[in-house]
């Protein structure tokens, strides 16, 4: 059964607890109660266990039941006096001002509901710089938490129905009060709630995002390559519990959408991309309960999770194929593509496998060949069979009902094959397709008939209708480098988005990258922007390696952060990782076995979390060598350095989140000329100014204040830079504000040119 996710878009008011939630005053509260406990001879731990969230008099009655009411009130006044006299260190809780700014901008009414008396509440809020439009204290509400009286009174005064009010609390009594009032709750401090944000800043982001339609628009996505992300049970193989344990890391980074590579039951000959049961979670990844827990935990943090739909082919261990291979008369025979041998007894046509050799394997049991564009253990499905189409429809419905928020579509343009299975023409002698991740022989053909057939759009349109019923997201893996051709996959009611792989399929050539991005931007506002994935060498390595490669990759991330569409990170990119080193003979990639220079192992080595054996990825022996990572490559090694790649990417995403409302009303992106050889775009009131070149740019006048600088962590939205700047090689800025006049076209580059055309695997 699908677990219901809290829809923040239905929230009409926010009701906040004060101490420990909106105001960081726990230390002052504890000091006052500790002093009081000593004066009254009460055990301090007993006092602190019940004091939070309750009026002082209620706490006194529970601790000292023998006191008469006059003495109770005197003891409560003494406790208040201790708190009045101690406002040292009382500040706004982290993210409080960001949350209140979002509430005001969204026009959402808010109130503070506290068990403190009016004088104390006003003093603490004043010390924190907070002036609530509605404040309910012990002076207004006689009953303390967990009684719902305070929250019900606040809702009544605001004129909002209780189910439309979000209660934000940091204690069990406060959460109980919200629930008793019939209100959804956001629980801080890791407590269980319909929503469990790590802090108020994250809640501000989620409320902001809840007003963005569709929800994936301008979202930050993160690819988890499951075998290598985090191992929860010590067997050396990444799994779903490992991901669950790292969700706070992803939320803190600013991730909105997590893409999980295949978790379905599989013999793992291609590490999950050979599916043997589309409706079962493989035990090696933790099984069914582990997925349910991951989805629940991600949704409580306000994150979405998409799966990896692998339906161009299955594993030869799939029951469908076992039945199909048993007899030409089996009902599943037409789920796959079978043909008689050619007159010479060989394969039916000249199509090739990505992994080398013919794309056909003879089945001795029936005397026919079956098609496989990948490994022989991965037979291709027959998408011209209506029964197969209906089966996959049901698979999609099943997982969306289970709680997945959509799918990345593996090999999305491969499903339909030429009806007559005609030969592919060879490319002229000496010409090769601009493709990586395939064998050299595959690159010598023009793949006119085996992939990218027009009929595939009808399949995507069918899936889109299913996804839209579930408010789910479909993003395609379409290896089409021509952005105009790629745009056809996301137009009208087809896929919601598709990865553009121009930055994945290139080394560093600043002028070429500049031109390619301009063409992609002009083609569609619905693309997904990505520099790397588990199938290609990491961007840092392709862009020159070491510090230079990291600076280049970061500059492109700053540029990508402004583009309309979805911004994606591949695990480890936030650390500036290049390819890991895998000694000869220790790899696991079947493509690398066929053609070593195309091995994908270097991009798949385990995620480095902390120094030491296993790098925090596993307590056991990792399934793939650890990549020879140094301490500085790890999350722990970078998290305390404000200039580290991790913290720079974190600053970038934080700035993007904080200012996300500025371009939200427009997908229009204009290239502008700033009188210097920089790449500059403007979208609404946000700008990106990036020096992609390897030379310093002469001084230029900033057209708006800089709120992010890849080279200077001191530049923030609260401490912007203005005036003239010189940009070092690959230095990148985000600007906010400036003139609203139409931008000056970039005369240096002119209109968007054509990106290099061609299909790649």
State the SS3 of 223-243.
EECHHHHCCCCCCCCCCHHHH
- Are 304 and 296 spatial neighbours (Cβ–Cβ below 8 Å)? no
- Are 532 and 603 spatial neighbours (Cβ–Cβ below 8 Å)? yes
How many other C-beta atoms lie within 10 A of the C-beta of residue 648? 26
- Are 624 and 604 spatial neighbours (Cβ–Cβ below 8 Å)? yes
For residue 373, what are the contacts with CB-CB under 8 A and spacing of at least 6?
Answer: 312, 313, 351, 353, 354, 359, 380, 411, 414, 450, 451
Say which of 477, 480, 589, 626 is annotated catalytic.
477
What is the SS3 assignment for 393?
A: helix
Helix, strand, coil % over all residues of the chain, rounded to 5: 35, 15, 50
Angle CA 7–11–15, to nearest 5: 125
Nearest CA to 270 out of 355, 338, 351 is that of: 355
What is the SS3 assignment for 546?
A: helix
In terms of Cβ atoms closer than 10 Å to its own Cβ (0-12, 13-18, 19+), residue 521 is buried
What is the SS3 assignment for 359?
A: coil
- Are 33 and 48 spatial neighbours (Cβ–Cβ below 8 Å)? yes
Token duo for residue 352: 């090739």
How many other C-beta atoms lie within 10 A of the C-beta of residue 512? 14
Catalytic residue check, 477: yes
Ordered alpha helix ranges (H), 483-525: 483-487, 510-523
Residue 474 phi/psi, 5° resolution?
-120, 120
In terms of Cβ atoms closer than 10 Å to its own Cβ (0-12, 13-18, 19+), residue 640 is exposed
What is the SS3 assignment for 107?
A: coil
Nearest CA to 333 out of 324, 323, 344 is that of: 324
How many other C-beta atoms lie within 10 A of the C-beta of residue 721? 17
CA atoms of 190 and 192, how far apart (whole Å): 6
- Are 201 and 95 spatial neighbours (Cβ–Cβ below 8 Å)? yes
Angle between the N-to-C axes of helices 386-402 and 456-469, in degrees from 0 to 180, rounded to the nearest 10: 30
Say which of 410, 482, 505, 598 is annotated catalytic.
410
Catalytic residue check, 410: yes
CA distances to 23, 120, 122, 130, 279 from 126, in Å: 10, 10, 6, 6, 56
Token duo for residue 542: 């392709």
What DSSP state is assigned to residue 759? B
What is the SS3 assignment for 53?
A: coil
Give the residue numbers annotated as catalytic, written as ranges.
410, 477
């Amino acid at each position: 059964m699908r677990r219901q996710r809290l829809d923040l878009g239905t929230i009409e008011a926010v009701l906040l607890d004060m101490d420990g939630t909106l105001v960081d005053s726990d230390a002052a509260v504890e000091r006052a109660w500790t002093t009081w406990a000593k004066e009254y001879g009460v055990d301090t731990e007993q006092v602190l266990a019940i004091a939070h969230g309750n009026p002082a008099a209620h706490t006194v009655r529970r601790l000292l039941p023998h006191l008469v009411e006059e003495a109770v009130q005197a003891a409560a006044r003494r406790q208040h006096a201790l708190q009045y006299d101690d406002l040292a260190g009382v500040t706004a809780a982290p993210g409080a001002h960001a949350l209140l700014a979002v509430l005001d901008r969204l026009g959402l009414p808010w109130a503070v509901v506290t068990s403190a008396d009016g004088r104390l509440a006003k003093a603490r809020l004043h010390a924190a710089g907070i002036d609530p439009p509605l404040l309910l204290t012990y002076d207004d509400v006689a009953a303390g938490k967990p009684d719902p009286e305070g929250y019900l009174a606040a809702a009544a005064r605001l004129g909002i129905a209780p189910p439309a009010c979000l209660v934000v609390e940091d204690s069990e009594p406060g959460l109980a009060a919200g629930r008793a009032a019939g209100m959804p709750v956001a629980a801080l401090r890791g407590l269980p709630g319909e929503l469990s944000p790590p802090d108020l800043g994250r809640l501000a982001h989620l409320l902001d995002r809840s007003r963005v339609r569709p929800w994936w628009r301008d979202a930050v996505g993160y690819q988890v390559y499951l075998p290598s992300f985090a191992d929860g049970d010590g067997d050396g193989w990444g799994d779903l519990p490992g991901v669950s344990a790292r969700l706070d890391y992803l939320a803190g980074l600013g991730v909105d959408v997590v893409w999980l590579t295949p978790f379905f039951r599989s013999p793992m000959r291609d590490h999950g991309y050979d599916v043997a049961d589309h409706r079962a979670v493989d035990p090696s990844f933790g099984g069914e309960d582990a997925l349910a827990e991951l989805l629940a935990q991600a949704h409580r943090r306000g994150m979405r999770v998409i799966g990896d739909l692998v339906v161009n082919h299955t594993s030869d261990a799939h029951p469908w194929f076992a039945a199909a291979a048993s007899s030409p008369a089996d009902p599943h025979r037409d789920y796959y593509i079978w043909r008689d041998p050619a007159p010479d007894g060989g394969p039916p046509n000249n199509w090739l496998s990505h992994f080398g050799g013919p794309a056909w394997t003879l089945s001795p049991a029936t005397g026919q060949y079956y098609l496989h564009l990948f490994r022989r253990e991965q037979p291709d499905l027959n998408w011209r069979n209506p029964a197969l189409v209906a089966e996959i429809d049901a698979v999609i419905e099943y997982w969306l009902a289970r709680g997945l928020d959509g799918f990345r579509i593996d090999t999305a343009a491969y499903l339909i094959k030429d009806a007559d299975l005609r030969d592919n023409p060879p490319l002229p002698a000496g010409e090769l397709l601009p493709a990586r991740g395939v064998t050299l022989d595959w690159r010598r053909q023009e793949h006119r008939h085996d992939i990218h057939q027009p009929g595939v759009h009808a399949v995507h349109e069918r899936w889109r209708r299913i996804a839209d019923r579930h408010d789910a997201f479909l993003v395609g893996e379409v290896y089409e480098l021509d952005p105009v051709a790629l745009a056809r996959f996301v137009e009208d009611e087809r896929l919601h988005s598709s990865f553009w792989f121009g930055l994945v399929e290139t080394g560093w050539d600043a002028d070429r990258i500049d031109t390619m991005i301009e063409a992609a931007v002009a083609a569609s506002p619905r693309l997904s922007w990505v520099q790397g994935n588990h199938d290609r060498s990491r961007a840092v390595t392709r862009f020159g390696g070491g510090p230079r490669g990291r600076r280049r990759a970061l500059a492109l991330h700053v540029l990508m952060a402004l583009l309309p569409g979805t911004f994606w990170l591949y695990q480890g990119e936030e650390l500036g990782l290049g390819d890991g080193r895998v000694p000869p003979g220790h790899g696991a990639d079947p493509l690398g076995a066929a053609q070593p220079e195309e091995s994908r192992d270097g991009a798949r080595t385990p995620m480095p979390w902390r120094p030491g054996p296993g790098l925090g990825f596993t307590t056991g022996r990792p399934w793939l060598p650890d990549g020879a990572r140094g301490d500085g490559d790890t999350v722990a090694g970078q998290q305390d350095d404000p200039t580290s790649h991790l913290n720079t990417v974190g600053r970038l995403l934080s700035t993007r989140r904080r200012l996300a409302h500025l371009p939200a009303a427009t997908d229009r992106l204009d290239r502008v000329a700033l009188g210097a050889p920089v790449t500059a775009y403007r979208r609404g009131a946000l700008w990106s100014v990036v020096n992609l070149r390897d030379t310093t740019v002469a001084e230029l006048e900033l057209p708006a204040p800089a709120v992010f600088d890849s080279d200077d962590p001191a530049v923030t939205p609260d401490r912007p830079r203005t005036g003239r700047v010189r940009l070092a090689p690959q230095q990148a800025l985000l600007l906010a504000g400036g003139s609203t006049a139409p931008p000056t076209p970039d005369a240096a580059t002119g209109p968007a040119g054509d990106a290099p055309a061609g299909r790649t695997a």
